[in-house]
Structure 1
Amino acid sequence: MSGLSFAFASPAILAALILLPAIWWLLRLTPPQPRAEVFPPLRILASILKREETPARSPWWLTLLRMLLAALVIFAIANPMFNPRTNTLSSGGPLVLMIDNSWASSSDWERRVRTADALIDDADAKGIPVSISFTAEQGNDATPGAATAARDKLHAMNPRPLVPDRQRAADAVKAALAGSKPGTIAFISDGIESKDKDDILSRLAALQPSELRLIEGDGNDILAITGAANNANDMTVTATRLNGANPLRLQLIAQDNQGRPIANGSLNFAGGQTVATGAIAAPFEMRNDFARINVDRYASAGTVHLLDDGFRRRRVALLSGQAADEFQPILSPLYYIERALNPYADLIQPNSADLAKSIPQLLAGNPSVIIMADVGRLPQESYAPLRRWIENGGTLIRFAGPRLAAAPADDPLVPVTLRQGERTFGGALSWAEPQPLADFPSFGPFAGMPKPTNVLIKRQVLAEPTPDLAERTWASLADGTPLVTEKQMRAGRVILFHVSAEPQWSDLPISGDFVEMLRRIVQLSRSGGVTSTEGAAKTAEAMPPYRLLTAKGVLTSEIGSARPLEPNHKGAAVASFDNPPGLYGSEEGFTALNVLAPGAALRPLDASAAGAVAREGLIGGEAWSAKPILFTLAFLILLADSLIVLFMNGAFPRLGRGAKTAAGGAAVLLLALSVTIFLHPASALADDSKPGDDAIFSRLDKTHLAYVVTGESDVDRISERGLAGLSDYLTYRTTLEPGPPVGLDPAKDELAFYSLIYWPISASAPMPSNDAINRIDAYMRNGGTVLFDTRDAINTMGDTTSPSPNGQRLQQILANLDIPPLEPVPSGHVLTKSFYLLSSFPGRYADSPLWIEARQDTRRDGNAVASSDGVTPILITGNDFAGAWAIDENGSSLLPTVPPDETQREYAYRSGVNIMMYMLTGNYKSDQVHIPDILQRLGQ
């Protein structure tokens, strides 16, 4: 495969260019121009005499135009070829193809497939067997075989959201070759080091191929988010890129768990910089709703950073058994706790020192965690609300101190039974010397942390030995006595540090381990907080795959062969074949696993240590000839030359000198245009027609109902006439006056102009392309809504076990979309009252329910009221709405309802009105809780 992008098929013809000087000399001559003579006969007779005439010189611009004509003919005969290819594979052994199908290859995967296809075609032409392997696959059969089998395997493969395991693929190739030497090894790489000191090229060179090729893209679109931190004032996002030559400005988009953008920020790379940090500024409550961070205009698993509860800031309430000393703050029990948690949590403190008042005040603030530093006896009326708050999911952290040591042993808010008094160095319950900490157990939040080496415990409160004490101990001293214990109380927990929160009893508060221990415990709590009246939440212990990330950065419910993520792993989890990137857990709680580890940096693959490696780029496109373009330009120039000569020879005598000058200027302009087309032939021939400003403004001046063009004339006509009928009904019955309906091709047309897109499903229509589905998915993520209508309610007749052909086609489309859970429109939903009061949503048929996004806050009794301001991104029905709305040019209905009933058609129109009002105004009517009181007052 040649690395050149331009070549001549017949380069010998270019030797004719040496004749251009002679052509120049010949073309300078031109017949003399006619002269105007006076009429008198004697002058005519005198001019009859013959005399020798000398040709005049032609204008320079005409000579240049003719020279260009001659050059174009010579170049056209030489047949210039763009993206030429030559078959240069070595015949000394099989062709070995190793292809990176990692997350970084998703942006130019089609070019990689075309490049590999071309190499396989070359091998097929020479009868060379092909061995093909992929670096992001768990199993590879790299046995050399026929080119047809390799081509089928190539086209069945897709990018994976994983870091490539090149060593595994190289081992598979080595085992398949069984000691024989390959001919050409072509490594189509993503250009990134998969690990420190990646020696894959050296390992491939050790197979002793006749030729080793490294084929890469330019790497300009390869970047990834490697970390996000929810700080006190904003969320900082760290990203890395592969090619850091030029400055780059990126827009960061934060989305909630329903895919709606709720905040944005920026991240800038300076020239030569490969790692940069940006920020997303938003209030604390809004940042807690972030579910993922995207990089705008980049679609890969690397440019998506998933977030879970661990990234959300908790609201932590602080209580102390003693008042703070403003003159000596470091003696306050809360001083070190505040500084340890301030970067990671939103801290609140009561305004009153009276615990009977401060505890209800803190509970009213809906905290996730309450920390009590040396609080012994609580007011009696405080135990009941505190206990309810813990059982409903709250986390209570207590620190020991003199007051707690003197508290009653039957305190219900202590995880273990305490002995009276404390154990001190040199006291009655003493040890010979201060005790260090023991290794942290393999369970609990401290698992994986190294043992603190600079912490000594001088005093502690002791726990009475019980059979389950070891199971409740998260940290202990070297002598086995507990340091941190916990007790589960339904959905919440109580945690006790057996030392004080200030450095009087130990060195723990002034160590870095204190910060990490508190941070880990706080992250165990519920991020949204909990009130004392909520129902008990369920805590999931297992972490099965819940939603997995595709190579394009889309979350999907297809988990394939993914295995559960171990909850008690040591250190941060790393994405692998068994645990691909995504969300693990359940809807009630999950853990996010991203492609790259925190702090990772993208580095280019080093080929210097592998010796002789031929580096090439990916195929940019198919080979094509410029001969037709050159001959067309030559013909146009010849035509222009003929017209110019006719002008100069007086063929148009009535035109003056100004017209001739204009003709010369036109020739020069044609010359410049020809050069421009020759320099940019591909862009000149490409059809990049897009809607101009006039078309855009025509879509913005009014609200237009849109429908997806299926390619079937009868279906598209009903869709167009149906939306026209609904538009007329909206004009007559509401203040909305929509414009004419618009037919859309989702793969090409801009979708952001329309709040609702009607999609009639037809099993006989062509399956939408991946590009169309991806654009529909992006449209739904950005706030748009698609109404899918299978139009098959009369065919299914209530049978949901076997979907109709249209239903099967809808399933195929939805399988490629990241859709939320669905439910039929419940009673009380905004769709039932956005304009008309409705209990059902009939169309031409009335048996199919209208499916919408299932709300996460649905009450168990079914009397739910949506609390979110969002609108469902998807509606599904089989009632054939457009068939009921469709009218002809006279306003008469085109299709009858089933059964024939004009009342049903009226309710079909009302359903359309409610849907449009819901799209345009949101679910604001769900919050009309004061309407009864207002109506009662108006009645009085």
Structure 2
Amino acid sequence: MIFLSPLLLLGLLALPALWWLVRATPPAPQEKSFPSLLLLRRLTAQREDAARSPLWLLILRIAAVALVIFGLSRPVLIPHSSGKTNGPFLIVMDDGWAAIPHWNERVAAALSLGQSALRSGNPVTLVRAARSPDGAMPEPFVTRDSHALSERFEHMRPQPWPVDRAGLADELGHIDLSNQHITLLSDGVAAPHDEALQNTLSKAEAVQDMRWNPCDVLRLSANQEANGTLHAKVEGFSCPSRTVTVRAVAGNGGTLAAYPVQIGEDKILPLPALLRNQLDHFAVEGLAGPATTVLRGDVGHRRPVGLLQTPGDNTPLIGSAFFLNHALDTLSERRTGDASALLGSSLSVLVATDGSLSGDQTRNRVLEWVRHGGMLIRFAGPGLAAAQSSQQDNATDDAPDALLPVPLMSGMRQLGGPMSWGKPQALETFPATSPFADLAIPPDMTVSRQVLAKPETGLQDHVWAALADGTPLVTARSEGNGEIVLFHITASPDWSNLPISGLFPQMLERLIERSAGVTGTSPTDLTPWRTLDSTGGLTMPPAAARAVKANALATTEVSVTHPAGLYGPAHGTRPLNLSDHAPPLREEALMGTQLTPEGASPDRPLGPWLLATGLLVLLVDFALSLRRRGLLGPLCGVLVVLSFQQAQAQQPVPSALPTTVPQAALETRLAYIVTGNDDVDTASREGLQGLSDYTSARSSALLGHPDGVVPGKDDLAFYPLIYWPITADAQPDAARTKALNAFMDHGGILLIDQQGAGTDMDAGSGGAVRAALKRVTDGLTIPPLAKLTDKHVLGHTFYLLHSGFPGRVNGQPVYVARNGDEANDDVSPVIIGNGDWAHAWAVDASGNHPYAVLPGGDDQRTQAYRFGVNMVLYALTGNYKSDQAHYPEMLHRLGQDNPDTQSPSVGTDEDEEDAP
């Protein structure tokens, strides 16, 4: 141990004076009451000495002051270090991508070794192995000052490219190594020119090689086959089997999917086509860095836009195409022409002005193109309004327009017309689910004419922008793998001033970014656009970064001149990842005597601990002094009373219930059956948590956190609804069957979910899951089932549901008891489906939805939540909603029937606001 401020130890000379001062100070006099003055008469006068402080109090105070003095002198505990030297000391530090997992430990070990050498009076030289962002090898740092060494390590950061062994050997060649003691903090990864470094280090007096656990060094690679199949592989050294999670991440940072991948395994990632269009990069969960991030770039995501227009539509300052061309001028590559020419080339977005989609052959071809992943953006106009009027005048033509996202009313709404406003309408704030959600709306934005959407159920699910009066301005709908978007105004300023505002190109840019991309050519020279830093985030390229030939990108290895990142134009980038074209990971041979990092730890300052202990002793002395003066009792009494009163005010009345009562008995909770599969159980817990939060926010039913239960072991009587996900390896269990039968007999509802088995989400497990469902339900008392429709109480318990009962997947049938259970108010004791609801409801710890829903996205997720709310309230309230259907009969029996009385409907839109 050493003292950084030894002069302060002179304060110890004051301890004798303090001893004398404390010893000479008598305690405070105490008053005594005597029963009679006769005792005083019998006292004889004697010499009286002043009472002195007791010895233990003197020692306590002296110790407190000594601790404070020692603390102010800044003592430092020097740990034992195996790296002590008796000559010049040289630290060679690997600071490339492979050093990132243990970077903090490396810095601490290097600082400890350097401080140990400096205390011995030896100079310390620091040499780094990775090139600086300017492309040069870092200059060796030589110092004899411990503070300067600490500052140098504090500002060091690892580089996101490999080390340069040849450059390091050249730097060491300019240093006289004959009398140097060298410690190499190696990353353990074999690199080119290791032999050159080995030969250079052999000239030193002594070489030690410090290594960390190589199993923490991982490298992710991913690729896509021609048929769209995605593969991922996590490389590592020969270590015990280990599984990590690979996340597919969208451009906004949201997780599209997560897959468990065993190290060394070539894993197929079954990501649907709709999600592949949104994929931005892959990352290993919990391990940020350039080696565990694989960028996708815009390769395969270039988004050319085709403009389908009518003759004369490009007239300056009048035609719709004129304003569209100006809005699209800086957004993407544009093409114009007829449908045959445009759809015959690679196209991502097709923009159609009013009247350009005429002819059945053109419309059929455009519709087929959309279903294969294209995005159609339409603009309204007099032609579209007239076509809707003509279609509605023809009573025999009831087929909806397949190239419209929503059905339209005939005619148009305009100032001075039959459906007129009093004044032009402003835009309403964009919905949170809209692609335009965070765009600023100019205050002078107005609309004077539009085509109106028919006010049908579910219309709001398709509205991306609306006017202040609630009428839609932009609507959209999924069609196959693509989307159809309609602006209910023209692309020229005839109906609105939107086309001449700055908001118009921003809205078009959002739509183009949302579309699926296409492959195409790229420039000859690809300049770096953004590169990965040591945390796996994108940043500006370093100064040494250089362009790459497009035809050479496939063989380029990552280095300081070609760092991992995105190359090419901003809207057509191509990725260069650290795992691309790199040799397999191999462990580097030892460069010297092996040194473990356990013995290398920084100095530990003891000053703060000594100061805190000294102050604590002084507080103890203060408390004892109060006690000797008789003041501690009253003071403690006052503090106790105040603390008790504060606790009484803040704490609730203690419950008289025993501590063994489960929480589900004290608050309403949902439950899920534990399957033993971590991924499935996590999705079940997150799904029921999301549904509980959604239900609590939108109804008066307040739900707590969901519980995982094991039927036959846990008491199920406290739960109104239990979610049971079926896995392919599920086996029958007599105890579970008995417990679930008792649960359903006493009014509980069992929701059985096959988790989308056999659908596009999980096509390979359909047969296995169906067989497992048959096994585990054998013995359950399940009544005859019928397909659930919107006529059932579940279709209007809280929300009116007319578009199915989707989960993560859509279109799967749901089955309930045909006649219900008479003993339980005709409530179905079981609900069986294949919607994979838990994944649709799931909300992770960050409040995000970790799983995508297909094919409807956020709209479908909302419908899944609504069906979940209906199920929860159905389980809590039973069949009460069906009583409204018998309202006229009930009035008739009471003798209060009135032919003019309107019976209430079974479910209304007000249910969303006024439901319990």
TM over 0.5: no
Q: How high is the TM-score relative to the length of structure 1?
A: 0.34
TM-score normalised by structure 2 residue count: 0.35
